[in-house]
Chains A and B, each alone.
Chain A
Amino acid sequence: MNPLPAARVMDRRTALKWVAAVIGVSLIRPVVQGAPVPPGTAGYGLDPDLLKGGEAALWPRTFTPAQRATATALCDIIIPADDRSPGAAAVGVPDFLDEWISAPYPEQQADAALILPGLAWIEAEAQRRFQHAFTGLTEAQAQAICDDVRHVSSAAPEFRDGAKFFKRFRDLTAGGFYTTPEGIKDIGYVGNMPLGEFAGPPPEVLARIGLA
């Protein structure tokens, strides 16, 4: 399945991308609203080595130590460890976030313009409310801030921008987490292995959907 960058403000684009992610190759994948963006030369190019993909993503990273610390704390509040899997920070999501916002593509650059000020905002909010760095807040204190920005459409006007940041940060954290082996196991994806036959849904699945 193709990956899906969550959208921010463009509803139609969000919908298209979402459908495209579900459907795969036969669908349209507009890269920006209205018109395609010219391929960049600063990225991995039109013809990267698909077998050694990760090695190509060597664009310089962005996070300062302070930004990294805030991002690390926040991604663990969004995806903490539980009895099924580790938290986001333990599986390298902060590094992934840095890779993402550092990429020389329009979408990722737009994310950088949302994420970096957002990290500064949440630090300032921690100082304003609790006179403490975000990284040192108690879980309850951090949640008090996050609860105000958890949902864009229900956030108070003064938290609307914070909520847009939080939504995007949460989606990038989730995408980063669920693409790791630990995240894949947690969410229950089974596949990517050659099989002699395709068995179809097992009986317990058919029973659950009323088609046993």
Chain B
Amino acid sequence: MPVITSSRKQARYDVVIIGSGAAGGQSAYTLAMEGAKVLMLEAGRNYDPIQETPMFQTNREAPLRGADTPDKPFGFYDATVGGGWNVPGEPYTQASTDPQKQFWWWRSRMLGGRTNHWSRVALRNGPYDFKPYSRDGLGFDWPIAYEDVADYYDKVELLIGVYGTNENIENVPHSSPGVLQPPPKARAGELLARERGKSLGIPIVPAHRAVMTKRLDPATLPARLHPNNPKARRILAEDIQSRAACFWATPCGRGCSIRATYQSTTVHLPPALATGNLDILPNAMAREITVDAAGRATGVAFVDKTTGETHHAAGRAVILAAGSCESVRLLLNSKSSRHPQGLGNSSGRVGRYIMDTVGGGLSGQIPLLENLPPHNEDGAGGAHVYIPWWLCAEQKAGKLDFPRGYHVEFKSGRGEPGMGTGTNLEWLTGGSYGRKLKEDARRYYGSFIGFNGRGEMIPNEKSFCELDPTTKDKWGIPVMRFHWEWSEHETRQAAHMEKTFAALIGAMGGRVRNQPATDGARAIKPGGSIIHEVGGARMGERAADSVTNCWGQVWDSPNVIVADGASFCSSPDKNPTLTIMALAWRAADHLLEEMKKRNIS
């Protein structure tokens, strides 16, 4: 079974998956490996990272030297094609004209979705992160605990390949022995930050990123992941032999043609396709989940974007993996006599409690890093180290004015020159030009460092999305309207980030370029801009106040499974991708059991 067109679709599948990113990819992998017949609908085009990734192209070869434009918001070579904060013909609306109350919705219309565009930072939620309400009375507890997910974190990390180390830091879980790959050596600026951070009590440790620093072992890995499934072992053993380890060049954000980093398209989909159990249908824009008289899903109505015609894909179960707010949109658009307010919305909670990550940042210039001897700092195409949240004890002692925490990602170094190189130096040079500018450009190149906080947002009543009452997209499908508001929990955290980063830059002997904002409302990045959208169909203990059970099954229609970030009850500082995959694997295992027991037929 292959990448297909609408006319090649089978009459019925075991499972129809909407979306092909982290959740859709993991669901398809798990189900197809276990023999389920699966159809994956992707709203964007087919995409092949092996053929299409610009691995060694230089900015000189790109329009505008690779600079970002509205067509390519992260620069010309970013892997995202057909996506962004604005997708032509597929609008969304804001309930408020106040920019502080707006949500920026990033969508990726391509096979692999947003996994083609991510930092590869792969962090586990810790035990506290699943029970936040119990700890501080804010937000919601998850109906699951860390122990329910730990084995799945191990499995995902083994499959995708994650470098990092186990450190003894509160609420930062260990991976099982032999799971993590060796981290790369730290770069000069990372080492300097680590050394100087000690004086501030700030731990800087190897990052966890989904980049393979060594090849996966076909002799041991498949048996560990699929102990009772010889076919899956054979397919995986064969597949991982064509995944190379990182060769320490080209930024991960372009994608990875050697399949050293995780994208759904490099890791999940090739072996899933090799089973013969997966059909992938690109250019298929899901319109609604169809239901029978009992309210159970019968499949998905979708628009074939190549013809504009609507088709139906039938399945015993439907997995929502469209990206949190897109999955919410589908639930709300799936109205029927049994589900008049939208599928799964008898509790009125669909669209509620959407979250992003709290983002704040500060940059500085470090004299010790000036004029360093030229050397290669490309490394693993992203961060080699990071700062895990390190103030659990201080927070518990009441020394902080905000709940929850943030981790810090940062970058320094001598990256490939782009349109920023040798620019914006007046604050250091007084506006040099001529031969002096060339000397200054050499001197300051590689001497900058930028810290970025990634923190937890607590779900609130004012941040939600709903169907816009009038606006439809070019396919006639009602679009989302967003309501957004940060609370003081988040803005105070953003202010704390600024103070921390100024202290770090100072400890490194550096200068901040702009004074840190003391007003957190000014420091915090716009909602949605970190592209960690989660929530909107949260899981819970009871149908009365949540959308799904602890397996992601929609209470009102248990053969619909929310596998993406929409089911998140909280948005810990840990980037969501790894958790999305772990939960999707767990949900797929449960769905297989339910199908075996004929609870889902």
Contact = CB atoms under 8 A, between A and B. Distances in A.
Contacts of B72: 44, 46, 48
A47 interface: yes
Contacts of B191: 201, 206, 209, 211
Interface string A41-57: 10111111011011011
Contacts, number: 368
Nearest to A139: B434
Contact of A189 (B78, B416, B430): B416
Contact of B380 (A191, A198, A211): A198
Interface residues of A, number: 106
B308 interface: no
Interface in B461-506: none
A154 B248 contact: no
- State the majority secondary structure of interface residues on A: loop
A146 interface: yes
B62 A29 contact: no
Interface stretch (A74-82, A114-122, A126-134): A74-82
A150 B81 contact: no
A82 B435 contact: yes
A112 to B, nearest CB: 13
B63 A53 contact: yes
A190 B374 contact: yes
Contacts of B529: 28, 30
B304 to A, nearest CB: 18
A163 B431 CA distance: 10
Chain B contact residues: helix, strand, loop or mixed: loop
A30 B526 contact: yes
Among A43, A47, A79, the most chain B Cβ lie within 10 Å of the Cβ of: A47
A209 B419 CA distance: 27
A18 interface: yes
Nearest to B213: A198
A184 to B, nearest CB: 6
Interface bracket on B: 35 or more
A208 B150 CA distance: 43
B130 to A, nearest CB: 24
A152 to B, nearest CB: 7
A208 to B, nearest CB: 6
B203 interface: no
Contacts of A19: 361-363, 450, 452
Contacts of B78: 2, 25
Contact of B54 (A51, A153, A189): A51
Given A18-B363, A29-B68, A77 B434 contact: yes
A204 B373 contact: yes
A190 B70 contact: no
Contact of A201 (B62, B76, B362, B375): B375
Nearest to A146: B433
A56 B63 contact: yes
Contacts of A44: 63, 69, 71-72, 76
Interface stretch (B2-10, B179-187, B542-550): B179-187
Contacts of B414: 188-191
A21 B526 CA distance: 18
Contacts of A37: 70, 86
B117 interface: yes
B68 A31 contact: yes
A181 B369 CA distance: 23
Contact of B75 (A2, A57, A78, A79): A2
Contacts of A108: 64, 69
A200 B187 contact: yes
A174 B422 contact: yes
B188 to A, nearest CB: 4
Contacts of A162: none
A179 B442 contact: no
Contact of A25 (B119, B377, B430, B432): B119
Interface in B16-65: 45, 52-54, 56-65
B188 A201 contact: yes
Interface stretch (B250-258, B344-352, B395-403): B250-258
Given A50-B76, A167-B431, A195-B247, A179 B58 contact: yes
B406 interface: no
10 contacts: A15-B513, A24-B251, A25-B251, A31-B73, A99-B64, A150-B430, A150-B432, A170-B437, A174-B421, A191-B376
Interface of A: 1-7, 11-12, 14-16, 18-19, 21-31, 34-41, 43-48, 50-51, 53-54, 56-57, 77-80, 82, 84-85, 96, 99-100, 103, 105-108, 143, 146, 150-154, 163, 167, 170-172, 174-181, 183-184, 186-202, 204-206, 208-211
10 nearest A-B pairs in the assembled complex, by CB-CB distance: A4-B420, A3-B418, A200-B185, A151-B431, A1-B415, A57-B63, A26-B119, A150-B431, A25-B253, A28-B529
